[in-house]
Amino acid sequence: MNDDLLGRHRAVLPDWLALYYDEPLEITHGEGRHVWDARGNRYLDFFGGILTTMTAHALPEVTKAVTEQAERIVHSSTLYLNRPMVDLAERIAQLSGIPDARVFFTTSGTEANDTALLLATAYRRSNTILAMRNSYHGRSFSAVGVTGNRGWSPTSLSPLQTLYVHGGVRTRGPFADLDDYDYVAACVDDLKDLLGHSRPPAALIAEPIQGVGGFTSPPDGLYAAFREVLHERGVLWISDEVQTGWGRTGEHFWGWQAHARSGPPDMLTFAKGIGNGMSIGGVVARAEIMNCLDANSISTFGGTQITMAAGLANLTYLLEHDLQGNARRVGGLLIERLRAAAAHVPAVREVRGRGLMIGIELTKPGTDEADPDAASAVLEAARAGGLLIGKGGGHDTSALRVAPPLSLNVAEAEEGAAILEDALRSIQ
């Protein structure tokens, strides 16, 4: 680490801007599933800039598209017709599963969720929002107001009235001991009771798999059951696909498809992986919802040509190379390998996830008490072994997050699993 750079960072950037590692890392370049730091050390990257380098570092197809677009025009705003934006919107609308879909592009997942909340509250004329406990939806004032994770919610002030619902964390809470059928039934009963004590909400916003929350998820079908209750009351369903979208879970292209009994959501939000590092976010909604605003609006940077070119190239590569199928196959191997390793480590409470979205929750052995110090120790040990992973969780950041680029191959999965196994054993 360049100590001068760290000093400069601390002198001009906020204290709350988190840095990983006791000796923070400067990443200078990457290729495929690997990155290098300023000292020349090479790492296998199992976090991808927080699930954002979705296909590969320095993917030639994306680099070429960005270079060629930059040589023509980088930006013009949404006040002018924009062919790359229309091209990508058409692809995403078709893939979304939402009928008569409209797409609005933003620069981040936070902004996408902020836009979805604006649309829902305007459409329904209500500022009451249902959100899940342990959830995370972004950093803006409104997104923080619907975030159910205390570690990422710095203020209780909000323009919204938020009511938090059970169900996002299968193995904790008052219903954890129930089987899946009874768990869903209990969560639905709780939702009905909550609705009976509140003004009609605008929407439920939910991550199919909670990202910052530690890659936790409910049983399949929970949100379909919720949707049936909500639909009777006209309440919208917003699926936050910022981390689960684009085939990362392997089994489905979108996370909502694990809850598809009642059809697609009214809105979905996306970001992160679609740009492979370029700043793209967005909302997909039925036309009647998207068009409900009665004031002018534009986006200066959402949908700018250079990011749209990157998104088109990246999405094309992902589909043509069946990276969803690769996430299912290689991710299945990786999660089984990690479960086998964790069986010998008493501090591991659970290994969970789907595809290439895997969480490892650490607790003090023999208890359900979170152990964030153990998670930090494993993070450091993995780095020392040449592997970068992430952290998260609603219980004091005690879950490790494993989310490599979707082009990960079997040899790299085995290598990363071996490093992580050694890192987990080092804390015993």
CATH of domain 64-320: 3.40.640.10
Summarised one tens digit per residue, pLDDT across range 207-218 is 999 999 999 999
Mean pLDDT, the chain, as a whole number?
A: 96
How far apart, in whole angstroms, are the C-alpha atoms of residue 194 and residue 163?
8
The dihedral built from the CA positions of residue 213, 216, 219 and 223, taken in this order, carries a sign that is positive
Q: Which amino acid is at 118?
A: L
Predicted local distance difference test score (pLDDT) of residue 99? 97
Predicted local distance difference test score (pLDDT) of residue 396? 75
3-58+323-425, CATH topology level: Aspartate Aminotransferase, domain 1 (3.90.1150)
Buried b (16+ CB within 10 A) or exposed e, 42-77: ebbbbbbbbbbbbbbbebebbeebbeebeeeeeeee
The larger pLDDT score, comparing residue 3 to residue 359, is at 359
Strand partners, 164: 131
Task: Quote the Cα angle for 137-143-147, to 5°.
Answer: 55
* pLDDT > 90 in the chain, percent: 94
Helix (H) or strand (E) holding 191: helix 180-195
Same fold, 3-58+323-425 and 64-320: no
The total number of residues written for the chain in this structure: 428
How far apart, in whole angstroms, are the C-alpha atoms of residue 323 and residue 247?
7
The larger pLDDT score, comparing residue 396 to residue 244, is at 244
Which residue's structure tokens are 């919208």?
236
What the block records as the tokens of 245 is: 């979208």
Task: Quote the Cα angle for 292-293-296, to 5°.
Answer: 145
Q: Which amino acid is at 139?
A: R
3-state secondary structure of 204: strand
Q: Which amino acid is at 269?
A: T
Phi and psi at residue 212, to the nearest 5°: -60, -30
Residue 41 CB neighbours (<10 A): 12
Least confident of 25-34, 53-62, 362-371: 362-371
Summarised one tens digit per residue, pLDDT across range 90-149 is 999 999 999 999 999 999 999 999 999 999 999 999 999 999 999 999 999 999 999 999
- State the pTM of this model: 0.95
46-64 mean pLDDT? 97
Q: Are 168 and 239 in contact (CB under 8 A)?
A: no
Q: Does residue 397 have a pLDDT over 90?
A: no
Which residue's structure tokens are 């009928």?
99
Q: Does residue 312 have a pLDDT over 80?
A: yes
Crossing angle of helices 372-384/410-425, nearest 10°? 130
Give 384: exposed, middle or buried? Use CB within 10 Å, 0-12, 13-18, 19+. middle
DSSP per-residue string spanning 342-377: HTT-TTEEEEEEETTEEEEEEBSTTS--B-HHHHHH
Residues contacting residue 411 through CB under 8 Å, at least 6 positions apart = none
Residues contacting residue 366 through CB under 8 Å, at least 6 positions apart = 346
231-250 mean pLDDT? 97
Domain locations along the chain: 3-58+323-425, 64-320
Residues contacting residue 408 through CB under 8 Å, at least 6 positions apart = 33, 326, 330, 334, 356
Q: Which amino acid is at 75?
A: H
- Residue among 324, 334, 351 nearest 249 (CA): 324
Predicted local distance difference test score (pLDDT) of residue 223? 97
What the block records as the tokens of 393 is: 């969780």
Q: Does residue 262 have a pLDDT over 80?
A: no
Q: Does residue 2 have a pLDDT over 70?
A: no
**Greatest CA separation found in the chain?**
61
Query: Band of the pLDDT at 1, cuts 50, 70, 90?
Result: very low
